[in-house]
Amino acid sequence: HRHLTGIAHLARHEILYLLDEAEQWLALNRQRHKRAEVLSGLTIINAFFENSTRTLLSFEIAGKRLGADVVNMHAATSSVKKGETLIDTAMTLNAMRADAIVIRHASSGAVQLIADKVDCPVLNAGDGSHEHPTQALLDALTIRHALGLAPGSDLNGLRVTICGDILHSRVARSNILSLTALGAVVTVCAPPALMPAEIAAMGVTPSHDFDAALQGADVVMMLRLQQERMSGQFIPSPREYRHLYGLTLDRFGKLAPHVLVMHPGPMNRGIEIDSQVADHPARSLVTRQVESGVAIRMACLDVLTRRARGVPGWTGSEGA
């Protein structure tokens, strides 16, 4: 593949390849001197048309730890504010001869639009409600490490419950694709208005009853309500939502002692997750997810730029 626009374009062995590649960077990042020079001389542009803390910073750190020159374009301070179109912005970035462009955008499909216009690899850092592929990859890597699984391992038979705003969540979509490809058994839980109509076709079990959806889970992934993407859907009030769908300390206390808790962030503490759960030292993987994020993004930047660098090791097929 030339680009990384979504997990939907990746085969199971390609997902595992990226996870395995990230292992070396996870190890490097735990050292004092976290530096390799594999991308020395390359220029990476992070073009973020929507807010981000984790994804933007971890892509920047990932590029710098691999020796690349990294520049960030924030839409709020760019000529997008003067009315420049997405295509014109893409052509402008392309003319600067970037070696990779990382895009976050509020519109589903915007990343593919840019990928079709530029000469270098494009990596999707989250587009609307569509996909957030590096989030799903970092989540799989985090689970694999938390369970002590060796490189090359998939997640066969692992029972994962994803709860929250499934309808608007690119994290849910990419994770459903990735987790099912790796053999996990996925249950998704949301209020009726926040469950996609096509969910049954995605190979997961839908539920509107969080307590039932938690039965038998090994991993619980909590998502926030994405108010910025809601247009008139009826959702419960924050208090009702916490009561029905929140991973409260009370619900957490009833789970089996091995159950692990994840959240991609940003968290709305006290709504979808209680602080005592989010900060649980042994069972919450939230900060380990962030750590995995840097390693995964290093792997993706390395692998996606290999063709241009004349380095073998990726599937090489065009498209996506």
- Residue numbers in the known binding site for carbamoyl phosphate are 54-55, 104, 132, 135, 265-266
Q: Please identify which residue in the block is written with the tokens 């014109």.
A: 88
CA separation, residue 198 to residues 166, 173, 205, 256, 260 (Å): 11, 11, 12, 31, 28
> Does residue 128 interact with ligand CP by CB under 6 A?
no
- Nearest distance from C-beta of residue 308 to ligand CP, angstroms: 26
Task: For residue 12, give the 3-state DSSP assignment.
Answer: helix
Distance between first and last Cα of the chain:
6
Find the binder of ligand CP among 63, 126, 191, 196 (CB under 6 A). Answer: 126
CA separation, residue 160 to residues 31, 33, 35, 156, 180 (Å): 32, 36, 34, 11, 10
> Does residue 72 interact with ligand CP by CB under 6 A?
no
Find the binder of ligand CP among 236, 238, 265, 270 (CB under 6 A). Answer: 265
> Does residue 227 interact with ligand CP by CB under 6 A?
no
- The smaller minimum CB distance to ligand CP, of residues 208 and 269, is found at 269
Paired with 127 in beta bridges are 105, 131
Paired with 41 in beta bridges are none
- The smaller minimum CB distance to ligand CP, of residues 255 and 293, is found at 293
> Does residue 52 interact with ligand CP by CB under 6 A?
yes
**∠ CA 6-7-8, rounded to 5°:** 85
**Given the rule CB under 6 A, which of 146-154, 157-165, 222-230, 260-268 is the region that contacts ligand CP?**
260-268
**Given the rule CB under 6 A, which of 20-28, 48-56, 65-73, 278-286 is the region that contacts ligand CP?**
48-56
> Does residue 266 interact with ligand CP by CB under 6 A?
yes
**Given the rule CB under 6 A, which of 22-30, 191-199, 244-252, 263-271 is the region that contacts ligand CP?**
263-271
> Does residue 264 interact with ligand CP by CB under 6 A?
yes
Q: Please identify which residue in the block is written with the tokens 């520049």.
A: 71
CA separation, residue 28 to residues 35, 52, 136, 166, 230 (Å): 7, 25, 21, 34, 40
> Does residue 206 interact with ligand CP by CB under 6 A?
no
**Given the rule CB under 6 A, which of 18-26, 53-61, 81-89, 209-217 is the region that contacts ligand CP?**
53-61
Find the binder of ligand CP among 54, 145, 229, 288 (CB under 6 A). Answer: 54
Which residues have C-beta within 8 Å of that of residue 41, sequence separation ≥ 6? 67, 68
Q: Please say whether the beta carbons of 204 and 195 come within 8 A.
A: no
Find the binder of ligand CP among 5, 89, 124, 135 (CB under 6 A). Answer: 135
- Nearest distance from C-beta of residue 309 to ligand CP, angstroms: 27
Paired with 163 in beta bridges are 189, 222
> Does residue 53 interact with ligand CP by CB under 6 A?
yes
> Does residue 55 interact with ligand CP by CB under 6 A?
yes
For 35, phi and psi rounded to 5 degrees? -145, 130
Binding site for ligand CP (CB under 6 A): 52-55, 126, 135, 264-266
